[in-house]
Structure formats: C-alpha cells, structure tokens
Structure 1
C-alpha cells in the first residue's frame, strides 16, 4: 500500500481540527483514536430523548482524511456493526450528501469533522424506523470494502 503524502494545508487543517475537538468535543462523541493523525475513530452515542431509536446504542465511525483535505472530503464510514438505518448500508457506507464532492455532493471545505459527526447524529435522530436501505445486500456485494467515495450516490430523500 502506497504511503499517502499529505499537503501542508491538509496537515495543518487536520491538526487544527484535532486540537479543537480535544478542547471541545461534539455532543455525544468521543475520539477513540487518532493514530496516525490522518485516521480517526470516533465513538458516537445514539441520540437520546423520547422516541429516539438509537438512544441506548454506541457506534464507531472511521474517518480517513484524504491527502487534499479539506478540498477533498474524508472517507467516513460506520464500523461494524453499522446502525440499521435507511441511509446506512450494512458495510458502513453512508448515503449523506455532505460526505461527497462532485456533481451531487454537498461537501464544503468549511465543514469540520465536528460538524460531520453532529450531522450523522442528527440523521440518526430523525429516523422514524430501523430498516436497511433498499438494495442493501446487492450494494454491499457489489462494492465490498472499496471506498464509498467511488460509488455514484443519488441524494433524493431528505426526510430521514
């Protein structure tokens, strides 16, 4: 596996976000590891409150920064076992526009990992039922463990 060469901008930005996270972590989230600094694992508590489907659950989210971060989004996936959610595939891939750049993606360099994980918690909080996405088994069989950034996502459902 080739060693990634991170731009100076990427290194400074990741270090800055890491420092900010350690000073003021996002609600319900704990940084489990950040070794190397370009690969984070976050423990995410399911949102609490009345009617919250994931209130007693804890999930692990892996964040792999790209060499051109923040111009290029990081790879963000749920580690196994992934939440059962209409926008989260069994292999941990997440159908959420802010995680992707390109034609349909909503990634912005202004986003931080704190904002991303809060968006993931919000996505969990807004779910009305636990169910897998349509075509989950077929998608997982087709893409395996390759990067979700290589998938062609269609973002049409903003109700979950």
Structure 2
C-alpha cells in the first residue's frame, strides 16, 4: 500500500502532467517520490531577476504533506541560488511557509509560486545578513535551522 506521501505526490505529479504549471515554473525532474526539481523564472520586465532562471530542489519526507518538504535553491555548474535577502548562498530559504505557516493544502507548485512571488517583489539583490556565518555553520538540511521570521518586506 502506498504511503500518504506517495499518494499525494502521485496526484500532484498527475496534475502537473495534465494541467501543466503556471507561467515561469517548470518541472525539471520527478524521478522519484522523494526528490523533485523545478525551474523558476520571474516574470515581468520590472524584476531585478530579469532573464534569470533558478532551480529549486524539494525533498519529500514520509510525513508530507503533513510536514513541509526540504526546499533549497540549487547551486551547481548550471544554476546558482538567487542573491536575495531571504536566500542564503548555499540555497537555504528563510520563508515562513517552510516552517510555522506550512499547511497541508500547500503543494510543490504552490511552493514554487511562493518562491517566484518572493523573488518578483524583491527590489535589491543582496545576501541575507550573516550569510557567511550561516553558510559556514548551517546543517545540510535547512529544516534543522531555527529561523526568525521578522522581515516580510522583500
């Protein structure tokens, strides 16, 4: 019998294949029910991220969708995390939906939409305060970080 997580992800994948994804978001790979990759392009000419494409990695645990997935921006030869006040240079994201504001009604595509919106509203490319210190000491899984959500202006 498939787990709740697997059943939910199979439905999400089926919806993506039949209905597609919103503009600027594309599923790169979903080779397993544990790890998916998406690309995100911020729409509009007024964005500081014009013509940039970012890759987002999601790792789903056995308790998804009750618990949020591990979400990071990819850093490799092809992709780099965006320079953004809520995204660390190792790809970790400080966003309340990936913590206390997570709800099981959210899904992989809604996470991508939130990241796309977060990038679109950014007015200035800058790394988070304390980026170097955080990256040097961060756990490999950002879910093990105790984030402080105090700035929703970027």
Give the shorter-chain TM-score range: over 0.9
Match of 1:125 in 2: 120
- Contact 2:3–2:62, Cα closer than 8 Å, also in 1: no
Distance of 2:146 and 2:56 partners within structure 1? 21
Measure, in 2, the Cα distance between the counterparts of 1:107 and 1:143.
22
The secondary structure found in structure 2 opposite 1:82 is coil
TM-score for both structures, normalised by structure 2: 0.92
Matched with 1:3 is none
The total of aligned residue pairs comes to 149
SS in 2 for 1:40: strand
Partner of 1:112: 107
Kindly report the root-mean-square deviation, in angstroms, between the aligned alpha carbons of the 2 structures. 1.4
Q: What 5-or-longer segments of structure 2 have no aligned partner?
A: none
Give, in angstroms, the shift of residue 7 of structure 1.
6.4
Aligned with 1:121: secondary structure? helix
Gaps of 5+ in 1: 1-5
Is residue 60 of structure 2 the alignment partner of residue 82 of structure 1? no
Correspondence 1:6-155 to 2 at 5 A: 8-23=3-18, 24-45=20-41, 47-80=42-75, 81-100=80-99, 105-143=100-138, 146-155=140-149
Structure 1 residue 96: Cα displacement:
0.3
Determine if the alignment matches structure 1 residue 157 to structure 2 residue 147.
no
TM-score of the pair, normalised by structure 1: 0.89
SS of match in other structure, 2:115: helix
